[in-house]
Amino acid sequence: PVHDARAGIGPRPEVIAHRGASAQAPENTLAAVDAAAGLGARWVENDVQRTKDGELVVIHDDSLSRTTDVEEVFPGRAPWKVKDFTAAEIARLDAGSWFGSAYAGARVPTLKEYVRRVERHHQKLLLEIKNPQLYPGIEQQTLKVLGNEGWLDRQHLTGRLIVQSFSADTLRTVHDLKPAVTTGLLGKPSATALPGYARFADLINPSYASLSRDYVSAVHAVTGPHGRPLEVFVWTVDHASVARTVAGYGVDGIITNRPDVVRRALVRP
């Protein structure tokens, strides 16, 4: 039976499988979503970009090189940018063999395929709009796909979907288009800048490297666009000791390639 993530861990901090359970399966594939579900992760994170012919696909880099066999399949097409390939061309690529032969044949999923798999596992989605400067209008298009797939109904909007980006402009656009969507700003703006971002961002999602208890408190002290305190989902934490440290700071979510390691670290003895 499909793992039911509603029975997963909780309540706080949330554990978010970064690019799926990407230490266990090739990042941003459906196999990585399945692996995350198998490890009991209630949330998965992904990265969304756009093909030449306008399809939204789930992949981290702006080039297909690192995570697919594109250089073998299309040798003359350097630098193999996602935006220069059609969805049909990308569908031919193997996005699993680079990670391990057991994953040979895994594909770069479309966003539509991806959210259907997340739904099947009853998981929650932290969706990153990646490199939005390369894809004008990707905010509206992402919302359209999510809406078509039923992810903008009340149930998903209240607790199962967060849209994040390093681009404040992108988050402002998402908020203006659909104010009910929960949004997260990647990075660590100064404490004095937080009220400005809180007009359109519900979360501030920094790297763990320079995080402090005081910063988490400063974020929590600001009220977000939906009248609730801003929250913090920190990335990318793969070690138990770091997970315990940031949990002690009061973070609301921990984004990790190893949801099993973080889950175990957070269990009280």
Which residues are designated catalytic? 18, 60
- At closest approach, how far in Å is the CB of 7 from Ca ion? 26
- At closest approach, how far in Å is the CB of 192 from Ca ion? 26
Report how far apart the first and last C-alpha atoms of the chain are (Å, whole number).
30
β-pairing verdict for 253-256 and 203-205: unpaired
Could you give the count of Cα atoms lying within 13 Å of 101 in the half-sphere of its Cβ? Answer: 0
- Radius of gyration from C-alpha coordinates of the chain: 18
Could you give the CA distance from residue 205 to residue 166 in angstroms, rounded to a whole number? 9
- Residues 38-67 binding ligand G3P (CB under 6 A) are 45, 47, 60
Q: Which does residue 151 touch among ligand G3P, Ca ion, none (CB within 5 to 8 A, set by kind)?
A: none
- At closest approach, how far in Å is the CB of 158 from ligand G3P? 21
Could you give the CA distance from residue 186 to residue 225 in angstroms, rounded to a whole number? 16
- Residues 89-148 binding ligand G3P (CB under 6 A) are 128
Q: Which is nearer to ligand G3P, 18 or 263 (CB)?
A: 18
Binding mask 79-98 for Ca ion (x = CB under 5 A): --------------------
- Residues 118-137 binding Ca ion (CB under 5 A) are 128
- At closest approach, how far in Å is the CB of 114 from ligand G3P? 15
- Is position 242 an interface residue for ligand G3P (rule: CB under 6 A)? no
- Residues 175-214 binding ligand G3P (CB under 6 A) are 186
- Angle among Cα 107, 113, 117 to the nearest 5 degrees reads 100
- Residues 28-57 binding Ca ion (CB under 5 A) are 47
- Is position 231 an interface residue for ligand G3P (rule: CB under 6 A)? no
- Is position 260 an interface residue for Ca ion (rule: CB under 5 A)? no
Report the residue from 135, 197, 208, 235 that binds ligand G3P according to the rule CB under 6 A: 235
Q: Which does residue 238 touch among Ca ion, ligand G3P, none (CB within 5 to 8 A, set by kind)?
A: none
- At closest approach, how far in Å is the CB of 154 from ligand G3P? 25
- Is position 14 an interface residue for ligand G3P (rule: CB under 6 A)? no
Binding residues with Ca ion: total (CB under 5 A) = 2
- At closest approach, how far in Å is the CB of 46 from ligand G3P? 9
Q: Which is nearer to ligand G3P, 45 or 55 (CB)?
A: 45
- Interface residues with ligand G3P (CB under 6 A) are 18, 45, 47, 60, 128, 186, 235-236, 255
- Interface residues with Ca ion (CB under 5 A) are 47, 128
